[in-house]
Amino acid sequence: MPPEGIPASFNIAQYFVERPAAEHPRRIAIAGEGATLTYGELAAQTCRAGSALRALGCNPGDRVLLALPDGAEFIEAFFGAARIGAIAVPVNPVSRASDFQYYLADCGASFAVVHAAALAEFSAAAEAAALRGILLAGKEAAATPGASQQNNVCAWDDALASDSSGCAVAGTGANDPAFILYTSGSGGRPKGAVHEHKDMLVATRSYAQGFLGLRADDVTFSVSKLFFAYGLGNAMYFPLSVGATTVLNPDRPRPGPVLEIVARQRPTVFFSVPTFYAALLAESENTPADFSSVRMAISAGEPLPAEIFERFRSRFGIEILDGIGSTEMLHIFIGTSPGAAKPGSCGVPVPGYQARILDDGGAELSPGKIGNLWVRGESAFAEYWGKPDLTARTKRDGWVSTGDKFLQQPDGYFHYCGRADDMMKVSGMWVSPGEVENILLGHPNVLEAAVVAAPREDGLTRPAAFIVIRPEAAAGHEFLHELQEFVRARLPAFKCPQEIHLVAELPKTATGKIQRFRLRNRAGSVT
């Protein structure tokens, strides 16, 4: 049964596209670096996209892989698939052939909408997938070598030029599968989380409207991309739900161009991840930065270090609203609301969600104790596609294991301590990587930091730090000694890194999360 207030018959394309288009067809829905579309134009294009997929033979329940950059085509294809009852599966458009091959095999996609820039990598994977149809998007589609010779490939513009008058919204139910989102892969192979039509509306009402107070006059801009669960809400269904405008950037986010977009497009709500907030702060030291239009800045994807929070507030006068969400829960389920931000805290449960901290045996822990975070809410994923055993381990009686270690303070605020496999015990006591990383970030010459567990020859564990320093900083033994003394003055000895590695960059997923499991493999020798 769907949650209260959501009809049993429900389709996300009707709610997030058709409904606002009927209410305000001339209002700008999509702005940014690509095409600008009104709500009326978006609805018409979405209808055409649904018709194009149906003309290829796409039926309800068929999976449609989307390998598209942020832009109008992504939103049109996503809701076009949902409109006819198909299941959209967005993935990173700059994936390698091996990644595309994995996604296609894992979800069993029969159709795909691919940007021409991704075709070279995608084609190598598609040969073994026996796709029944491919729509090729992008201005380069018509000139892409070999595309016109393939019977199952059709240019996006050509396909959408056909009549769409017969593309009625499918009679889907609120509990029918609508889309599959792949986890970030920060801990290994991505998993496909299946979400139902109701889930977007649940997340919208709970977080975007109820918690943040998103408005029709807002302009949203998300650094995180649409194929990522966090970005999908930020830049697509959140703004569409209230008739706001979303600013889309198809390019890989870089601090300088992002600052230019903020200055030019004047967003009122800005979404990013901690590592990019740090990069923006560094860029703003030498580049003009104007955040005067922004009334709310939100962070998720990874915990926001208190140091970054304080520096951003000091530089721009904006309190970053931190939160934690997951692909499995679709969006943020613990967060800080405007005026209630606390440095170093993820906040409190969003209305409609419950959270509890359990020990390894399943017993609930009292405030102040570190344990495993479990969360419950109506936007929770239905299953991992094709992985029933993993689904059963992750989801129990409606509660979802996040795989994160947390503690809850007596004031009710939740504090992130690390991924379950990132936490370490040193001298019998828990050490949170985030706590150590925040101290390291306080050093004026440290740009990025990641702390992992490093095994010692005696079988015990010690903290190891990987550091990216500022370009102008001088590396060497003198700096390493200075940094070690800096940390020792601020942390107990057992929490201080016993080895420090200076690296050019930290390994990250496409969504900006640090891949600490890769760093653990490199720990063990002092730089």
Per residue in 103-121, pLDDT tens?
A: 999 999 999 999 999 999 9
Bridge pairing between strands 424-426 and 499-502: unpaired
The confidence score (pLDDT) of residue 189 equals: 76
Report which DSSP code applies to 118.
Answer: G
The confidence score (pLDDT) of residue 526 equals: 43
Contact 384, 450 (CB under 8 A): no
pTM of this structure: 0.84
d(CA 276, CA 336): 19
Report which DSSP code applies to 252.
Answer: P
d(CA 185, CA 266): 33
Mean pLDDT computed over 441-466: 82
The confidence score (pLDDT) of residue 264 equals: 96
pLDDT tens track for 321-366:
999 999 999 999 999 988 889 898 999 999 999 999 999 889 999 9
The confidence score (pLDDT) of residue 440 equals: 92
In this structure, what CATH number is given to the domain that contains residue 492? 3.30.300.30
Asked whether residue 448 is domain-assigned, the answer is: yes
Asked whether residue 456 is domain-assigned, the answer is: yes
Q: Please report, as a single letter, which amino acid is at residue 522.
A: R
The confidence score (pLDDT) of residue 301 equals: 83
Asked whether residue 21 is domain-assigned, the answer is: no
pLDDT higher than 90, residue 246 = yes
Q: What are phi and psi of 513, to 5 degrees?
A: -80, 140
Candidates 134, 527, 462, 443; CA nearest to 451 is 462
Query: What domain count does the chain have?
Result: 1
Domain range for 501 = 424-522
Candidates 223, 74, 56, 62; CA nearest to 152 is 56
Contact 507, 518 (CB under 8 A): yes
pLDDT above 70: percentage of residues in the chain: 93
Residue 11 tokens, joined: 């389709």
Share the mean pLDDT of the chain.
90
Asked whether residue 187 is domain-assigned, the answer is: no
Asked whether residue 485 is domain-assigned, the answer is: yes
pLDDT above 90: percentage of residues in the chain: 65
Asked whether residue 145 is domain-assigned, the answer is: no
pLDDT higher than 70, residue 245 = yes
Asked whether residue 491 is domain-assigned, the answer is: yes
Asked whether residue 431 is domain-assigned, the answer is: yes
Candidates 266, 289, 272; CA nearest to 219 is 266
275 or 29: which leads in pLDDT = 29
Split at pLDDT 50, 70, 90, the class of 520 is confident
Mean pLDDT computed over 289-303: 93
Q: Which residue has the tokens 């942390």?
A: 491
Split at pLDDT 50, 70, 90, the class of 419 is confident
Report which DSSP code applies to 398.
Answer: T
Split at pLDDT 50, 70, 90, the class of 302 is confident
Least confident stretch, 148-157, 213-222, 372-381: 148-157
pLDDT tens track for 479-510:
888 999 999 888 878 788 988 999 999 988 76
